[in-house]
Structure 1
């Protein structure tokens, strides 16, 4: 377990800050990537979207094609425009 954790930490965006002993996110300042999509389906037609439902993977992009594999985002958010509010929730969390 500790070997896998050490390897994951060395390959990912989360780094151990030796001076504070805390975990820091290694941000490359690339900004936000956006993927836009539209669907005529209602939430009722999509069914239960409780995580980790494999059907959710069909609703979001797995990877941003414009970025190299090592620069993929840590989170992807699904944003639904509704009146009068905007609703968002995390859909995918990556474990780099």
Structure 2
């Protein structure tokens, strides 16, 4: 459900669809800097508002880009939850994911 809301909100540039999922107090968002290695990650979003602004900027850039395929379909395909399910199945994840 969360992935669907995120993708739909992103495609429609509508933070209200996704933003309600965040707890305001104690929020800390990581910026992976395009890396799979946690050692490369940095705190990039000290507040929900900072994350929201970056998310909306990304959504606007995405909307302004011409793609060879439907953007919503491509985002669903790229958002693969299989890796999370595999990690949980092998004991490398938590039940809270």
Between 1 and 2, higher relative CO (CA 8 Å, sep ≥ 6) is seen in: 2
More strand by share: 1
More helix by share: 2
Question: TM-score, with normalisation over the residues of structure 1?
Answer: 0.23
Question: TM-score, with normalisation over the residues of structure 2?
Answer: 0.23
Larger Rg: 1
